[in-house]
Amino acid sequence: MIGRVESTYLETLTPDQRRERFEQFMRYNIIGLVICHGMDPFPECLEMAEKYDRNLFLVRKDTSEFMADLIAALSSYLAPRLTQHGVLVEVFGEGVLITGDSGVGKSETALELIKRGHRLVADDAVEIKRINRTTLMGSAPEMIRYYMELRGIGVIDARQIYGVGAVKPETRVDLVVQLEP
C-alpha cells in the first residue's frame, strides 16, 4: 500500500532506484498494490506492475480510512459462521433468534410479529457469523431470503406481501428465544 508517507519517500529516490525498489517488491507473489489518496502511480511502478503482471488499485480514500474499511470488510467476509435452524426477526431494533423443534410455531410467531410492524430477516435457516468477540450477525441464505414457509399455507414472499419495510437483509443477534411445545 502506498500512501503519502511512502510516496514522499519514493520521491526522494532517482527513477532507477524507484524502478529497483518496485521490481524487488513486484517479484513477490502479491495480488496487487493499493495506491491511496487518488495519487497517480509512479511510471516505474506502472512499468514493473506490467512486467510482473501485478494489479494496481487506485483509491481516493486516505490510507487510514481505506485500511479501516478493508479490515472491516475482511473481518465480515472471513468471520466464522454456522447455519442455525430457526427464525430471525428484528423486534424494536433488537435481533431475536427464535428456535425450537420443528412444528412448534417459529414461523407463525414471526409472521405475527411482522404483522405488528417488526421485520423478518430469515426463516428456517439462519446464517450466523461472528464478527468479533461480542457481535453475532444473522442473515438468510440468498436462495431463501425473505421467504417464509407456513404450515397449511406453503411458501410466501414476505417482502412482496408485506412490503420492503417488513424485511431486512441482516441484523445483530441480540436475544435467543427457545419455543417449547
Torsion of CA 130, 131, 136, 142, to 10 degrees: -80
pLDDT at 152: 87
pLDDT at 11: 96
Name the CA radius of gyration of the chain, rounded: 25
Task: Please name the helix (run of DSSP H) or strand (run of DSSP E) that holds residue 32, with its range, or none.
Answer: strand 32-35
Which domains does the chain show, CATH number per domain? Answer: 4-77 (3.40.1390.20), 81-179 (3.40.50.300)
pLDDT at 75: 86
CB 166 within 8 A of CB 113: no
The secondary structure of 77-88 as a DSSP string is HT--EEEEEEEE
- Give the span between the Cα atoms of 172 and 37, in whole angstroms: 33
Task: Please name the helix (run of DSSP H) or strand (run of DSSP E) that holds residue 102, with its range, or none.
Answer: none
**E-only strand ranges, 111-181:** 119-132, 135-139, 147-150, 154-157, 170-172, 175-179
Q: Give the cell for residue 51.
A: 512486467
Backbone angles phi, psi at 149, to 5 degrees: -110, 120
**Taking the chain (181 residues) in consecutive chunks of 10 residues, what is each chunk's mean pLDDT?**
96 97 95 95 96 96 95 90 97 98 94 96 96 94 95 93 96 97 89
Task: Encode pLDDT of 8-49 as tens digits.
Answer: 999 999 999 999 999 999 999 999 999 999 999 999 999 999
